Structure 1
């Protein structure tokens, strides 16, 4: 009889000698994550209502988005970066959440070079910058769109590389990091990351348009002064 895998991650041949099984079920972990996101939204919304209640609905949505990004990037992804070389043994909430997600991408359990480096850059740069962007949006600061553009471009670039490298490994080397159940691929791997494709693209377009409009006004004003 063939040996049974010692962990639930694909490919089953990867060695995870420190692996400890989760004690919480997938529905419980997903509910905890969703509740955490709701708390982030509620706290951010409360702060905005106290400091700038006249903020437009569009700016409010963007501020909520970057508050969520800041928390996920700095704390959740920062947790992974800090514990990347022993993730398989972690049994706290963040550790169990990462092990649940890793059912769709086992690179998070195997010290994959790209994943560790990408998540570290995300935590160190895009996490703090996302919080700064929330402040700039609330304060209607001129740096809002430069920060929004830089962060969104970084998120988009990282996510495209994330998808591309995983796809390359599967197509070229026949290495599959996701379990065979399609739920893990579509719900975890695809959907959870696709938000960081669509929303950054929209924000890049918004910031590029606002920047172009601002430069056009400056150029028009400068041309008007020259004709006087």
Structure 2
């Protein structure tokens, strides 16, 4: 008897290309917003420009891509797997790596509700704070993003990751590691950068007192 094996997944599918194109478009819009809204002095500072672009990009992703997941998950028992349209196809593609997204798992939907209606507006608020020279506002956003990332994957790790598919590098390193890792690595970098700025300010203050 001949055994037929399914061909390995390929990165350059139509759905993947559409997803990447939409992500690049959102990033380009975030860069354009930085050029338009940030004061010239802040835009010239690479760290502040990067932070604003990321906050704007983050808000746009929450308001568009992730909001589409919420739309395709309500009302119950509506799910991404039963959805129609390019956004449903996008999330079905991601569900190849994490099946919870295809079935609109209640825990995932709950996290996305907080992300869309909480973290998204907060990121926009923080970006606007930077525009108005209030840098401290983005620290609130960091907590929300790290909490969301933890609650997305901690239950899976505790239960042995039954919903995660790591059978192919595309699923493991692109869909799971890269697309989710950005929302961990960049907030952690912002924490480090914030600590560096605070320590530098404290050192300057101590040196001023010593004179």
| Fold match by TM threshold 0.5 | yes
Where relative contact order (Cα < 8 A, 6+ residues apart) is larger, the structure is 1
2:80 is the alignment partner of 1:90: no
Runs (4+) of structure 1 moved beyond 4 Å? 208-214
Instruction: Evaluate the alpha carbon distance shift between residue 169 and residue 209 of structure 1 in structure 2; reply closer, same or farther with a 3 A threshold.
Output: same
Give per-residue Cα distances to partners, 1:116-170, cap 9 Å, x unaligned: 1111111111111111222222232x2x32x311211211122123222112222
TM-score by length of 1: 0.72
Distance 1:108 1:26 in 2: 21
Residue among 48, 62, 65 paired with 1:59: 48
Aligned to 2:29: 43
- Contact kept, 8 Å, 1:118 with 1:158, in 2: the verdict is yes
Worse-superposed segment, 183-192 or 30-39: 30-39
- Contact kept, 8 Å, 2:15 with 2:90, in 1: the verdict is yes
Aligned to 2:123: 130
- Contact kept, 8 Å, 1:104 with 1:177, in 2: the verdict is yes
Aligned to 1:181: 168
Distance 1:205 1:192 in 2: 21
Instruction: Evaluate the alpha carbon distance shift between residue 98 and residue 205 of structure 1 in structure 2; reply closer, same or farther with a 3 A threshold.
Output: same
Give per-residue Cα distances to partners, 1:62-97, cap 9 Å, x unaligned: 111111110111222122123223211223221111
SS at match of 2:160: helix
Worse-superposed segment, 36-45 or 154-163: 36-45
- Structure 1 residue 209 displacement after superposition: 4.9
Output aligned runs, 1:136-215, within 5 Å. Answer: 136-140=129-133, 142=134, 144-145=135-136, 147-170=137-160, 175-178=162-165, 180-210=167-197
Q: What CA RMSD, in Å, does the superposition of the two structures yield over aligned residues? A: 2.8
Gaps of 5+ in 1: 1-7, 9-24
Aligned to 1:17: none
- Contact kept, 8 Å, 1:26 with 1:100, in 2: the verdict is no
**Larger Rg over CA atoms:** 1
Equivalenced residue count is 191
